[in-house]
Structure 1
Amino acid sequence: RWLHEDAIRPWQHRTWIFPRDPQFALKAGRILDLYARRWEGRRLRGDEFVLSTDEKTSIQARVRRHPTLPPRPRCAARVEHEYVRAGAWAYLAALDVHRAKVFGRCEPTTGIDPFARLVAQVMAQPPYRDARRVFWIMDNGSSHRGQPCVRRLTQAYPNLVPVHGPIHASWLNQIEIYFSILQRKVLTPNDFSCLAEVEDRLLRFQEHYESLATPFDWRFTRDDLARLIKKLAPQPSPVRLAA
């Protein structure tokens, strides 16, 4: 009764990761500025673009041992529990956050070379090829980590500006929203006849999505970030006075 009155649910919990990057506010703030079409205090020009990129790894092709039964009135579709694995793709993608354009490709694995092929795929076409600057927001995965990545990309594409987010801050990367949509609408349930069908469905959904999509209504701002950091900051322990 006491727990109920205090709205305490000790049997419920959620996991989280404490922001330990000492430059969390700086790195996160730059990304939020780009979403608001600002960089280093100035508005972006019309020939400057912002891309959010990442990889969705190990997308399996599960071939069910028996055909899936379609839904009927008062009966959901039935997917066979047993399956055979027919291989897996890594899906690499980049989202133009202000134009709702998606660029993706399937690779056998992730890594520096597969990511370089995605970048080349995007940067070879207009408007990015001739843009003044193209900002690529990315995490700190091994495919595009640190200064070696910055050197590789800027040497190959002088108009490309890599922007690394803080560690453990994938929620700041808008491509993760697209991956969530992809998981729900394309990959669930996982029921494919072969690995090639997975690639075909992923790339066809890109085209379908672009025909309907608008930019995400991103509302988390620098002010929200400041409040979050203040909330997470260690609080001084109350001083107990001796009786």
Structure 2
Amino acid sequence: MISADEKSQLQALRRRHPSRPAGPGQISQVEFEYKRGGTLAYMGAYDVHRGRLIGTIAAKTGIVPFMDLVEKVMTTEPYASARTVYWVVDNGSSHNGQRSVDRMAQAWPTARLVHLPIHASWLNQIEIVFSIIQRKVIKPADFADLNALADRLLRFQDRYNESATPFDWRFTTADLTAMLERVGAAAQEGVAA
């Protein structure tokens, strides 16, 4: 199962002065003045069972860049020989509606596009990966140009795949019951105080 989406409007901001890393007793320092170097999009596909990230860089999001990502994944093993590959996506403009389901089925008969409910993109595990990318690759933004930003994204992807494991992403009814009991107990303590 592939969890896919795009991370758009990634800016290549070049800081006026170099950032200084944190040291003993000193926080990191990041220059607030910058020069804009353009934007790009990272198209990401995350194999939820293998913990593997496959991505492409595009000038902008859209149907063509999304289908380029699909092609990259579907021509790579084990997906190329799989009987069925499920693609979990949100309702973004590059892959929403029945036309996107039909387009995917026509281009890749073994691929099945599955849309999450509207306003539930947080259920898509690629969003967890994008959060990691935001913290470890994008922030603080200091890139000479778009090529430097693209290079850092792709190098991170390779490094991520060397050590990543699938997310242990479970929340059972027993977990919910225990959480509600803790919240209820805390609320009772607050009322009694």
Tell me the TM-score normalised to structure 2 length.
0.88
Equivalent residue, structure 1, for 2:39: 88
Equivalent residue, structure 2, for 1:127: 78
Q: Report the alpha carbon displacement of residue 162 of structure 1 after superposing the two structures with TM.
A: 0.7
* Cα separation, 2, equivalents of 1:62 and 1:219: 37
Letter aligned with residue 116 of structure 2: G
What RMSD, in angstroms, separates the aligned Cα atoms of the two structures?
1.5
Equivalent residue, structure 2, for 1:215: 166
Are 1:97 and 2:48 matched, yes or no? yes
Are 1:204 and 2:155 matched, yes or no? yes
Equivalent residue, structure 2, for 1:115: 66
Instruction: Mark the runs of 5 or more structure 2 residues left unpaired by the alignment.
Output: 178-193
Equivalent residue, structure 2, for 1:186: 137
Q: Report the alpha carbon displacement of residue 69 of structure 1 after superposing the two structures with TM.
A: 2.1
Q: Report the alpha carbon displacement of residue 138 of structure 1 after superposing the two structures with TM.
A: 0.3
Equivalent residue, structure 2, for 1:37: none
Are 1:54 and 2:5 matched, yes or no? yes
Letter aligned with residue 193 of structure 1: A
Q: Report the alpha carbon displacement of residue 144 of structure 1 after superposing the two structures with TM.
A: 0.4
* Cα separation, 2, equivalents of 1:71 and 1:152: 49
Are 1:75 and 2:26 matched, yes or no? yes
* Cα separation, 1, equivalents of 2:80 and 2:18: 46
* Cα separation, 2, equivalents of 1:141 and 1:197: 27
Q: Which has the larger share of helix?
A: 2
Question: Which of 4, 14, 17 is 1:66 aligned to?
Answer: 17
Percent pairwise identity: 55
Instruction: Mark the runs of 5 or more structure 1 residues left unpaired by the alignment.
Output: 1-49, 228-243
SS for the counterpart of 1:143 is coil
Moved over 6 A (4+): none
* Cα separation, 2, equivalents of 1:76 and 1:136: 42
* Cα separation, 1, equivalents of 2:46 and 2:23: 37
SS for the counterpart of 1:55 is strand
1:24-63 → structure 2 map (5 Å cutoff) = 50-63=1-14
SS for the counterpart of 2:94 is helix
* Cα separation, 1, equivalents of 2:88 and 2:18: 41
Deviation by residue 1:125-155 (Cα, 9 ceiling, x = unmatched) = 1111110000000011110011100111001
Deviation by residue 1:85-127 (Cα, 9 ceiling, x = unmatched) = 0011111000000001111011010001110100001001111
